[in-house]
Amino acid sequence: MPKSRIAPSPSLPIAVIGMALRVPGASSTQRFWRNLVEGRDCLTRPTADALRQAGIGQERLSHPDFVRALPILDDVEHFDADFFDMSALEAEVTDPAQRLFLECAWESLESAGVVPGRSGPVTGVFGGYEGNYREKVLSGVIDLRRDPGLNLPVRIGNAVDFLTTRVSHKLDLTGPSFGVMAACATSLMAVDLAVQSLRRGECEVALAGGVTVSLPRLDGYVAGVEGMLSASGRLRPFDAAADGTIFGSGVGVVTLRPLADALAAGNPIHGVILGVGASNDGNPPGKESFVAPSPRVRSLRSRLRFAMRRSRRRPSVTWKPTAPARGSGIPSRSRR
C-alpha cells in the first residue's frame, strides 16, 4: 500500500518531477528545447536514390502526391538488453517502441531522483503505443507455425496490453499498470489517468507517456488523405500557413507525484498539474469527416470548466480556443 501521508483528494496538485524522451533531432529534453527555441526543422528529407536503396518502389516514388519527408528516430535498433535483464531473443522479438518506452521510463525516474523497486515509492505506469515491427520485420524472419514456442514472447513484445506491465515487471513497480489507447490523445490520456490514480491514493508516483515507432524508418508519405497530411512536407502547428500533419516516430514519459510529497522528498519540480478533464467533440454540424477538426469547441470549454472546478482555483487566463489540440491552420487567441 502507498505510504504517502497525503490524504486522497480530487483536487490534489500533482507535480511533474521527471521527463525523458526520444524524438527526431533530440534524445534529451534539453536538446528538444533548444530545437524549439531555434525553430529547427528536425524532419528527414531523403533523396529519391536513398529511398530506392532502402527498398521503396518506383511506383510509390512516382506518385504525384508523394512527399519525401518524415520524422525519423535515430538508433532505434540499439538496446542494452542485459541492463533490463532481457535475453537476446526476448529483445529481438520485442517491438523497438516497447524497448524505447522501457528505457525512457527508467530515465524519467532517474531524472526525478526516484529509485524504482519495492524499497521506493509505490509507482504506477500508464501508457500506450503504436508500432508495426511484427508486420514489417518479424513476419519476414520468423515462422510461428514452425516455431510455436515463440508465439508468447512475440505477442508480449508486440501488443499494447504488455507495454506498461513489462515496465512494472522489469523495474519492480507495484502500482497500477495498464495500457491506454486514444489515438493522438493517448499520451495525454495516460497523464489524465495517472493524475486520477495519484489523487485516489492508489500510488505515490506515476509514470505516464506514449510511444510510436514506424518502420521502415527511411520513407515518405502520400499527402492529401482527407486533407490531413501536409502537402508541403512542413509542420506548422497553430500557423495560418499550416496544411496538415505528418506522422512519425517518438517517445515521451513523465514522472508525476503529489506536489507536497515531491517537495518533501526534494524532487525537481518542472510543472504542476492542477486540473484534468477529457471529452470528445462527437459529430457536430460542420464537422466534415472523422479526421476533420470540429468547428465548435463547446465540449472542450465544458472540460476546461470541469478541470478548473476540480482544481478549486479560479483561472487567471481565459482561453478562447479556436483550434483543435491536434493542430491546424486556424490560429488560436487568448486574452488576460
Tens-digit pLDDT profile for residues 49-73: 999 998 899 999 999 999 999 898 9
Is 4 within a domain?
A: no
Is 141 within a domain?
A: yes
Q: For the chain, how many structural domains are there in total?
A: 2
Please write the tens of the pLDDT for every residue from 158-178.
999 999 999 999 999 999 999
Res 306 pLDDT > 90: no
If asked whether residues 151 and 268 sit together in one domain, one would say yes
Label residue 3 by pLDDT band (50, 70, 90). low
If asked whether residues 107 and 233 sit together in one domain, one would say yes
If asked whether residues 230 and 294 sit together in one domain, one would say no
Q: What gap in Å lies between CA 79 and CA 81, rounded to an integer?
A: 6
| Coil, strand or helix at 30 | helix
Mean pLDDT computed over 4-10: 73
Query: Domain boundary at 220, 247, 273, which?
Result: 273
- Domain interval for residue 115: 14-273
Burial (0-12, 13-18, 19+ Cβ within 10 Å), 335: exposed
Closest CA to 14 of 255, 253, 308: 255
Which range in 18-27, 131-140, 219-228 is most confidently predicted, on average pLDDT? 18-27
Q: Residue 224 sits in a domain of what CATH number?
A: 3.40.47.10
If asked whether residues 161 and 286 sit together in one domain, one would say no
As a whole number, the mean pLDDT across the chain is 87
Is 86 within a domain?
A: yes
If asked whether residues 281 and 264 sit together in one domain, one would say no
Q: What gap in Å lies between CA 59 and CA 209, rounded to an integer?
A: 37
Q: What is the per-residue pLDDT for 328?
A: 36
If asked whether residues 165 and 264 sit together in one domain, one would say yes
Please write the tens of the pLDDT for every residue from 116-129.
998 999 999 999 99
Res 286 pLDDT > 90: no
If asked whether residues 226 and 254 sit together in one domain, one would say yes
If asked whether residues 18 and 152 sit together in one domain, one would say yes
Mean pLDDT computed over 181-203: 95
